[in-house]
Chains A and B, each alone.
Chain A
Amino acid sequence: KNQVEQSPQSLIILEGKNCTLQCNYTVSPFSNLRWYKQDTGRGPVSLTIMTFSENTKSNGRYTATLDADTKQSSLHITASQLSDSASYICVVSGRGGSYIPTFGRGTSLIVHP
């Protein structure tokens, strides 16, 4: 069964600090992995997308890594800002079929001033 596990479930950090969110998956065969940011009451917004051959991808202060051998990904947030407070969702898609992805439960990040 395809699964995506995220950790931690929630995280509280001070403004300006860095943090790293983890995502482990069992989706196979693997196509791509995406990190989304979802603000409360809003739809998810794509941060990064990585395919099998990509190890790291950055989007401003967000850097995602992918280890396809161990089926692990991380999202590193540098110099956090109050606006980074949101839920971060890891989504993994398999090859073939109808693009139906497997969603992680998300990590709730709260950045305090």
Chain B
Amino acid sequence: GAVVSQHPSRVICKSGTSVKIECRSLDFQATTMFWYRQFPKQSLMLMATSNEGSKATYEQGVEKDKFLINHASLTLSTLTVTSAHPEDSSFYICSAAGTGALTDTQYFGPGTRLTVL
């Protein structure tokens, strides 16, 4: 149980285009979802925290107009990288925290590798 999926797993896009990444909790309801970015050989960096039905809370230094987060339901959150540039190329990982017995642990998705040309 407690599976989180991400789609797509890998995306290559041209500079200036927008890319949407989906994060789904497959078998539990996620009241809170987190979006992370990870550069090669570095730790995960929290970008934003989203609660279902409310606006996301962004970490300092993360542009909310560039990284649009929508958490419209208890099983789906999306991250849209708008007007992507090569420096946005990274590994994006989402995680979900459930309700009840699942609140103590974050369950991570498999990640999405974004390459901006």
Contacts and interface: CB of A to CB of B under 8 A. Distances in A.
Contacts of A46: 105, 107
A49 B104 CA distance: 9
A45 interface: yes
Contacts of A98: 32, 49, 57
Interface residues of B, number: 25
A41 B91 contact: yes
Contact of B103 (A91, A99, A105): A99
Nearest to A4: B43
A99 B116 CA distance: 32
Interface string B82-116: 00000000010101010000011111111101000
Interface in B21-73: 32, 34, 41-44, 46, 49, 57
Interface in A58-105: 89, 91, 93, 98-101, 103-105
Nearest to B5: A43
B111 A41 contact: yes
B109 A106 contact: no
A93 B95 CA distance: 15
B113 A105 contact: no
Nearest to A34: B105
A interface majority secondary structure: strand
B92 to A, nearest CB: 10
Contact of B106 (A51, A101, A104, A108): A101
A46 B95 CA distance: 12
Given A41-B91, A43-B111, A104 B103 contact: no
A1 interface: no
A105 B43 contact: yes
Given A99-B103, A100-B49, A104-B43, 11 more contacts: A43-B6, A43-B109, A45-B108, A49-B104, A49-B105, A91-B106, A98-B57, A103-B44, A103-B46, A105-B43, A106-B43
Interface of B: 4, 6, 32, 34, 41-44, 46, 49, 57, 91, 93, 95, 97, 103-111, 113
Q: What 9 pairs across the A-B complex have the smallest Cβ distances?
A: A43-B108, A105-B43, A43-B110, A43-B111, A44-B108, A43-B93, A43-B109, A99-B97, A103-B43
